[in-house]
Amino acid sequence: MIYSKRLIAFVAVLVATSSLPAVAQEETTNDFKAFLSNLDVHGFYEIRSGYRTRKDKYEKDMSIMEQRLQLDLSSYLDWADFEVKSDIIGDLVEEQADFDLREAHVFTSPLEFMDLKVGRQILTWGTGDLVFINDLFPKDWQSFFIGRDTEYLKAPSDAAKISLFSDLANLDIVYTPKFDPDRFISGQRISYWNSNLGRLAGRDAIQRTAKPDRWFRDDEIAARLYKNINNYEYAFYTYHGYWKSPGGQNTAKTLAIFPDLNVYGASVRGNVGKGIGNLEFGYYDSHDDQSGKNGNINNSELRFLVGYTKEVGKDFTAGLQYYVEHMLDYSRHKNSAPSGLTRDRDRHLITVRLTKLLMNQNLRCSLFTYLSPSDKDTYMRPNINYKVNDNLAVEAGANIFFGDYPSTFFGQFQNNTNIYTALRYSF
Amino acid sequence: MKFPSTLTITLVFSAALFAANAPNPPEKIADVETIVNKANVVAYYQGKDGKAKVKMTITDKKGRTRLHEFIILRKDIKDGGDQKYYVYFLKPADVRKMVFMVHKHTDIKKDDDRWLYLPGLDLVRRIAASDKRTSFVGSDFLYEDVSGRNFQEDVHELIETTDEYYVVKNVPKKPDSVEFSYFNVSIDRKTFVPMKMEFYDKKNKLYRIIESKTVETIQEFPTVVKSVVSDLNTGSKTEMEFSNVKYDINLKDIFTERYLRRPPREAMR
């Protein structure tokens, strides 16, 4: 399904880009020549391998074992910029070859105060560091947990982004004609807590979903209104679409579903003392369960984040964030949810980032930790990256999960704790 | 490589712009502050804006090299005052299309504002105002070399006037904030281009030299198009070469989030 959709999007972009300048034959030829002469080809080749450090009876011992070739083709004409970035993957865990079109878009500024980017693209906004409130663009949690480069946490959107600029404020509107969900934890590569089975599960119980997938009806719209005042960046956000990872299940409990979701939020970021501070909040209106009575659907929530980053030593940066999810109709949720499936009303999360650069900044040691005092679980991401020369980099890292309970957000992934190494040649 | 902490950009630019605007005849200039002010403007504020392509070659003591290439755009808010820098990376391949932006503030109480754009994640990150005396992208140039050390931070003394140069000794007002005890700058008497900077450590031993190797006049502005910094302690050196230098290109305000996410054509071509 994912593949056919990718294919359609890819073809659509190709058709769009190739037919647009087809006004006159000659013009087309000239444009084509210019397009070719401006063509820039870059990318990388990578080998990445990793293993689980504990036995997981629902998953393979290999957490990741793949070769990847990324090709990034870009070019431009007077009126537009073009980019196609695609990955070809030989995946030994899935025992298959895969093609992942990361980006395929056209960018143009039709008016002095307007930018337009159409096609497959990576989209990000908001102020959190690996914590997202108002950024409801698709994430690839599976890639994140098995040790792919952090870049792969962002999954592409098939969307149109319109940006309008003025002295008063700037406005971004992103329209996604067909819902782009997260590449969520389904059990395929990462074992998880299956509440219906009341136990951990993985390849034996890959989550089946009912995904909204009608073009132009099951669509998403996200907007950001923002302004920089004395280098303090203020933003307001709204989103109308669906929970990006399954946010409930059907009544028969056979399928995971993506209930309607509306989000309203705001953020500010700027210098505070010698560092950078950020504040962000969001109101998650779980629209299919506004009363909070439906135990099968996520409760509405308030989400709040405060963060601070500072250089604490030479080439040594530390970042701290506090994040909370507050359920709004908790008592009704608690009464209606099947016993044993209730969680605390508030989920508290602290993140700590430490990054140290050594050896003329060619060696980067970093540790990102998520720690939840309420869930009593922890997720740590140590990583060491060494640039051997201008093209070659080697890397080693781990994804370490622990927790007191098998059902909490990070605790459920305990058996997925893994270590990995990678070698990347960029060109 | 780290991105930037900061000043590097400024440094780079300033070095590029080690240009002098004022080919005044070498009249007697008694006042050291006038010399320092003039050299500062010549080095970092030529024209009202500018653009250059920079090739940076880092060579360690074993002769291994690393190459960085980037395009740098600069716009002055006020001569000798605040500036904005935009750096678009071309090489090495793993940082291609990355953008580093600085709003430099000369008010000694106000830290610079810095941003980094990571294209793979479409992420605009704010960078904490860091120690200005850290390396720019792993080179021997420090952020402060690129953007220009705020001359209000030092006490200046004219220690020698030769046929060619004014030699100014600079002693930091806050010695604990830097790793040197003082540095001497040889300023060309005709062009006011700083030709050589020599840094002395806390034991008064020379350990670091920045030299302007080639100066060309571009659009009437004396411009350093090749400079080298040598670290005598580590045996490492970094050469910076500037090409396609252009001044007064009438840059509009591209130093915003809009252009971080989609580099202006001025930066890319």
How many structural domains are present in chain A?
Answer: 1
Q: Mean pLDDT throughout A364-369?
A: 98
Q: Which residues contact A208 (CB under 8 A, 6 or more apart)?
A: A254, A255, A256
Distance set, CA A172 to CA A114, A117, A139, B98 (Å): 10, 11, 20, 21
Are A421 and A396 a contacting pair, CB within 8 Å? Answer: yes
**What ipTM does this complex have?**
0.90
Q: What is the pLDDT of residue A2?
A: 42
| Phi, psi (rounded to 5 degrees) for B97 | 75, 0
Mutation site, A37, A76, A134, A311, interface B, largest B CB count within 10 A: A311
Query: What per-residue string of b and e applies to B56-83 under the rule 16 or more CB within 10 Å gives b?
Result: bbbbbeeeeebebbbbbbbbbeeeeeeb
Measure in Å the smallest separation between the Cα of A382 and chain B Cα atoms.
18
Q: What percentage of chain B exceeds 90 in pLDDT? A: 74
Q: Does some domain include residue A24?
A: no
Look up the domain containing A346 and give its range. Answer: 37-426
B126/A270 CB distance under 8 A: yes
What distance in Å separates the CA atoms of residue A421 and residue A398, rounded to the nearest whole number? 9
Q: Does some domain include residue A28?
A: no
| Of A396 and A342, the one with more pLDDT | A396
Measure in Å the smallest separation between the Cα of A36 and chain B Cα atoms.
16
Instruction: Characterise A130 by phi-psi region: left (phi > 0), alpha (psi -120 to 50), beta (else).
Output: left
Q: Does some domain include residue A5?
A: no
| Phi, psi (rounded to 5 degrees) for A22 | -80, 40
B113/A311 CB distance under 8 A: no
Q: Does some domain include residue A370?
A: yes
Q: Which residues contact B29 (CB under 8 A, 6 or more apart)?
A: B35, B166
- What is the pTM for the complete model shown? 0.90
Task: Look over chain B and give the mean of its residue pLDDT values, rounded to a whole number.
Answer: 88
pLDDT in tens, A289-314: 888 778 889 999 999 999 999 999 99
| Residue (of A123, A54, A130, A63) closest to A370 by Cα position | A130
- A226 and B CB contact within 8 Å: yes
Q: What is the pLDDT of residue A296?
A: 86
Q: Does some domain include residue A223?
A: yes
Q: Does some domain include residue A360?
A: yes
Are A311 and A327 a contacting pair, CB within 8 Å? Answer: no
Q: Say which DSSP state A212 is in.
A: -
Q: Mean pLDDT throughout B90-105?
A: 94
What is B8-23+31-268's CATH topology? Answer: outer membrane lipoprotein receptor (LolB), chain A (2.50.20)
What distance in Å separates the CA atoms of residue B65 and residue B67, rounded to the nearest whole number? 7
A362/B111 CB distance under 8 A: no
B94/A44 CB distance under 8 A: yes
Question: What are the structural domain ranges in chain B?
Answer: 8-23+31-268
Q: What is the pLDDT of residue B239?
A: 97
Token pair of B222, please?
A: 């004396």
Q: Mean pLDDT throughout A215-232?
A: 97
Q: Does some domain include residue A31?
A: no
A309/B92 CB distance under 8 A: no
Q: Does some domain include residue A341?
A: yes
CATH number at residue A115: 2.40.160.100
Report the greatest alpha carbon distance in chain A. Answer: 71
- pLDDT greater than 80 at residue A274: yes
